[in-house]
Structure 1
């Protein structure tokens, strides 16, 4: 029987895999595309995460006090991610599970809800009131809440509280990590506002492949006149949708449009060619952080890289972020 509290926390009772079985199955499933379960027994609590953004925040807060098991690699699109058997093994072995929620990662959410586990399960994004968007004729919550950095603060605070509940003996350490990181996020939030304000008002038009930037746009003073597909990358644009977007871009004299790192750029490249506008050289990070060493390998550098691309290509004046 599942028990829900007002934060969307879920606990279930069920059989847990032994560490010996976990190690064995993990070795058998190596190379299957999911994060390894790990070798040997650890006395640290195991925290399983879905998206790369949430994994990064978990590491920032918990450090080496936890055993972090991220299920997705950088560059993976959570909308269409297909879980592998190792993901179920990791979920069953977890003490705490952080996932985005609002149906961002439907494949993993189905496993989390169906698997018999004894863990605290937290849909982190659901600590933020969502925007309602249209998808296939229905109104659904937009899951891309981290685009507004003030929402990131709320999500990090939720994660901080859950980690402290898991590790009360590490309260001071986790609290300090959170305080330091949230200070950086608040500075980042103000900086993005300043950067976008340098774009001429009539050029603050953000056109991307899929509708992942509504929170960013609304927080920082941009308009999203159209996208190639909606909030889920499972959608396929029709020829009419492509033509409407081309017409909108021409009508508004949009200076440039943007591809995204997790999506094939072919169709948005075609839109740019048909509309006669540049496709920005820098792809935007939407649903995933970049690979280690890339411009967007942390949440802060992801937001900075996206902001630079948007500001420069829409005619603003960019100044690098200094925390």
Structure 2
């Protein structure tokens, strides 16, 4: 994958550690600046590739950042997104670029390299230290609580470097974001304590990072998993193995990505419902009408706790 500009990866020196308790696209990029009081400096121009990170960056930047999220709705899969000339123009003016990485949004890394070679790039997958740079890796790292923290720390530190007069402002925004994430970390910790060791199967790998964070055991048939990760149809034998797993109630819950189309996931869901296996709906991108990343995640985790019959 192209590494444009100065990519801030796993070795990033975190200067403001986050203190915390206990696939999609639109017709127009989404510019935003979250509330946060008057800015003591000129706002930093930030381009974010996908909305999973766009809201977080907006919260951290407040009035001291103008944030444009390129893929800002659930209409287009970021894997397949084809940027228009206006998207390239956004990158030309960017002082900071935030991408997901891991072959999820390579178009953004290429635009950054071509249109803003001097702008620092924060790459979430690189920060995770995961193997998602390869085709075999899982790029859905916004479902990893540790990566959310790392990205927030990196964004705040870089914003402060780009606008030193607003360093204290960014520190306040960072602290407020940490406070807003407290319920998220609380429910993650509660699930880890009460649901660790319970089992799941999933129609896609999108939620796997969070499932691991709360201690769930993945029993999705390996052949099906491999097919899904390559966006291909499973073999009849792999699909049959999945259906038999559900029919035998071999897992405690089915994780279902509602943004996935096709008869195969629908067949799997029907099998789970017929066998009495609880189904938890998740999404790859932020659902329309959701107020923040935090509420999106807490709502899904609360549904998971309910499905598993544990406290959330």
TM-score under structure 1 normalisation? 0.75
- Residue matched to 2:267: 270
2:27 to 21, 29, 33: 33
Deviation digits for residues 223-258 of structure 1, max 9, x if unmatched? 121175559766122233322222333445324423
- Residue matched to 1:50: 49
Deviation digits for residues 3-51 of structure 1, max 9, x if unmatched? 6466389xxxxxxxxxxxxxxxxxxxxx98131679xxxx633110011
Alignment of 1:151-230 (within 5 A): 151-195=147-191, 197-199=193-195, 204-226=198-220, 229=225
2:243 to 229, 246, 264: 246
CA contact (8 A) 1:196 1:221 kept: yes
Structure with the larger RCO, 1 or 2 (CA within 8 Å, 6+ apart): 2
2:77 paired with 1:77: yes
Deviation of 1:195 after TM superposition, in Å, equals 3.4
2:306 to 298, 307, 312: 312
CA RMSD of aligned residues (A): 3.3
CA contact (8 A) 1:46 1:66 kept: yes
CA contact (8 A) 2:187 2:301 kept: no
CA contact (8 A) 2:26 2:71 kept: no
CA contact (8 A) 2:249 2:277 kept: no
Deviation of 1:86 after TM superposition, in Å, equals 2.0
- Residue matched to 1:93: 93
User: Cα gap change, 1:67/1:80 in structure 2, threshold over 3 Å: closer, same or farther?
Assistant: same
State the distance in 2 between where 1:238 and 1:316 align: 32
- Residue matched to 1:300: 294
Q: How many residues align?
A: 283
State the distance in 2 between where 1:196 and 1:119 align: 39
State the distance in 1 between where 2:282 and 2:30 align: 28
Deviation digits for residues 131-167 of structure 1, max 9, x if unmatched? 56985xxxx4322222222321111101111111111
2:123 paired with 1:123: yes
